[in-house]
Amino acid sequence: MAINYLMVFLGGSLGAVCRYAISIQMKRIISTEFPLATFLINLSGSFLLGLLLASHTDGLIQLLLGTGFLGGFTTFSTFQVENLTLFRKGNYGMLLIYVTVSVGLCIVFAYLGFRLGN
Amino acid sequence: MYYLYVAIFGAFGAVTRYWISSALSVELFPYNTLLINIVGCFLLAVTVKYLTTLPNFSKNFVIGIGTGFIGSFTTFSTFSTEVSLMITRGDSFLAACYIFASIIGGFLSAALGFYVSSRIIRRKEIRENGN
């Protein structure tokens, strides 16, 4: 039991650090209204989680890489706070694009991950 | 230094998510992920809007809680793989309900977090300025 939590703990720690590093670097390179960093993080994380789940690897590896790393790497709360910020700025067009593209493509990419892993 | 805070808080965010989602194991509809994501949206809004105004909270701590703990606590990849699996097994209606509940629920929850935070800030200002 404790080993399960340890796997999630280690993976989650690394996932959060990678997300933080990528979003800082992206903001430094590209200045855009569109929350590109969160979008790319969620998109790649969805694909990789689909791939991992389909690959039927060991339970502990799934906890380390899936629940821990990819769960911690991708984020729903930042996505929604970004949506709210776009809404409050009156940037409704961008809001609609961001929600649609994030939800739509992440589901498609998760599916592609599953297909590729099988 | 921020990285250390994100690493430690992020680890605890993931563990808390794992703990809650295993305690509320589900069969058809992922209430556990939905609950985690909606609660997290409220908490992140409060962190961004309110905790940043508190002088006793260092920037290290705010980034640790917001980006680390809450960012890691909520998850997008689990959401999208769950939707994908629901559609694949033919539960498209359930999948649509899940998407709708997550998007609208999370947005309103973040909005509530902003609202509650600005009410608290306003009340404090009135108390401190006496008007």
| A103/B68 CB distance under 8 A | no
Banded pLDDT at A1 (limits 50, 70, 90) = confident
Nearest chain A CA: its distance from B54 CA (Å): 20
Query: Residue B128: pLDDT above 90?
Result: no
| A9/B14 CB distance under 8 A | yes
Chain B environment of A109 (Cβ under 8 Å): 80
| A21/B81 CB distance under 8 A | no
Q: What CA–CA distance (Å, rounded) separates B87 from B78? A: 14
Instruction: Give the ipTM of the model, two decimals please.
Output: 0.95
Enter the tokens of residue B86: 């629901």
Using a CB–CB cutoff of 8 Å, tell me whether B17 touches chain A.
yes
Residue with tokens 């998850």: B75
Residues 48-87 (B) with a CB less than 8 A from some CB of A: 48, 63, 67-68, 70-81, 83-85, 87
**pTM confidence score:** 0.95
Query: How many CA atoms lie less than 13 Å away from A18 in the CB half-sphere?
Result: 20
- Tens of pLDDT, residue by residue over A82-117, are 999 999 999 999 999 999 999 999 999 999 999 998
Q: What CA–CA distance (Å, rounded) separates B38 from B93? A: 20
Closest alpha carbon to A46 in B43, B36, B75: B75
- Tens of pLDDT, residue by residue over A8-62, are 999 999 999 999 999 999 988 988 889 999 999 999 999 999 999 999 788 999 9
Closest chain B residue to A21, measured at CA: B3
